[in-house]
Amino acid sequence: MAEIITLQNGTVSKNYPSFHDNWNVNFDRLKESFSWVESNDTLMVQEPFIHEYFNELTMRTCLPRRICQQYANNTFGSAHRVHLLESQKSAILLSGEYWVEKENYPDWAHDDVFIFSKSIWINEEGKDFDSRFNEFEEYYFKCPSAIGLSEYGFNYSDDDDTVLLSALVNTNGNVISYRKHEKNQDIDHEGFLDNWISVYIFYARKQGQKQFARNLFASGLI
């Protein structure tokens, strides 16, 4: 997906599909640190940014499903690889399901938040892995724009269903950072931000969790 990620400190990082002019320069930068990456396995590549937890330059790539279908029973909405450029370590990041009722949400989640995904970190065989990936989780969520601004510091329109927020949270419950994810309107490319609702409903039905799909519609957020 042609996505723009805004960090809590105001850093903006864009990712680019393989047909875009900016794909090559970013892929080449990635290749400098990870000689094993393959262009055919890289659907999207993101501009480098300083990761909020690792405090080093990081790049995310979007992976084709065939690379990750052996993980998590193949029940995930999207697949990325997170690359730490300086230490040259990486991990696969899957957007897994989150079948949790609101009363059991983590403390950082405002009452009007709807969490629909939680990360699954994968240590790939044969690739250098940083164990600190297992020290935090990423949650994707949706909330009214007023709450997005007052509680999480991001401005957006309630009319745009493609804008999502995420929280990086230590396994001890402490919030590391929040992010905003929005579609890059300058690039004509459909991706997860366009389809997250249908993906969520698909897996809710597939896994016998249709109540959560009903909860999403009842929330008034879509």
Angle between helices 210-218 and 192-206 (to 10 degrees): 130
- Condensed to tens digits (0 to 9), the pLDDT of residues 98-156 reads 999 999 999 999 999 999 999 999 999 999 999 999 999 999 999 999 999 999 999 99
Beta bridge partners of 6: 12, 180
Q: Considering only 41-50, 171-180, 195-204, which range has the smallest mean pLDDT?
A: 195-204
pTM for this entry: 0.94
- Condensed to tens digits (0 to 9), the pLDDT of residues 40-53 reads 999 999 999 999 99
Amino acid letter, 63: L
Which of 144, 176, 167, 169 is closest to 157 using CA atoms? 144
Rounded-to-integer distance, Cα 47 and Cα 44, Å: 10
| Domain ranges (residues) in the chain | 3-218
Rounded-to-integer distance, Cα 92 and Cα 174, Å: 23
Structure-token pair, residue 20? 């875009």
Beta bridge partners of 120: 94
